[in-house]
A = this chain, B = another copy of it.
Amino acid sequence: MTVGPQHELIETFANPRPERDYLITHTCHEFTSVCPKTGQPDFATINIEYVADGECLELKALKFYLQSFRNKGIFYEAVTNQILDDLVQASRPRRMTVIGNFNVRGGFSSVIRADYDSKESPR
């Protein structure tokens, strides 16, 4: 198995309408990573919702970034937070939410939701 997520794959382009707060949502229906405990693959839908400031996320690069988790062992809670942190770091949005919606395992489905707001100080 190769090593995991490569945040340097994220690319941005100049926001075409920075004077307006508008909402951009990209939903990746085909996310897969690996359970660090069992080595078994996990599958999820990843929802990324943000208000851009100067930069927008380039969609093809975003796809390659999420694909870099394909053979990475990582828990649900960690992967959702890491995607949010990497994307905030790379694109400096006004606000962003990442939601990981993970497939059924042992009769349980799981959803992790993490939010970032540039106007709030961390807890």
| Interface contact B30-A81, CB-CB below 8 Å | no
> Using Cβ atoms and an 8 Å threshold, which residues of chain B touch A77?
15-17, 22, 24, 52, 56
Q: Is the interface of A mostly helix, strand, loop or mixed?
A: mixed
| Interface contact A123-B20, CB-CB below 8 Å | yes
Interface size class of A (residues with CB under 8 A): 35 or more
| Interface contact B26-A110, CB-CB below 8 Å | yes
Chain B nearest CB: distance from A64 CB in Å? 9
Chain B nearest CB: distance from A11 CB in Å? 12
> Using Cβ atoms and an 8 Å threshold, which residues of chain B touch A106?
40, 59-60, 63, 105
Chain B nearest CB: distance from A9 CB in Å? 14
| Interface contact A122-B19, CB-CB below 8 Å | yes
Chain B nearest CB: distance from A63 CB in Å? 5
A interface, CB within 8 angstroms of B:
1-2, 15-17, 19-30, 32, 40-41, 43, 52, 56, 59-60, 62-63, 67, 70-71, 75-78, 80-81, 103-115, 122-123
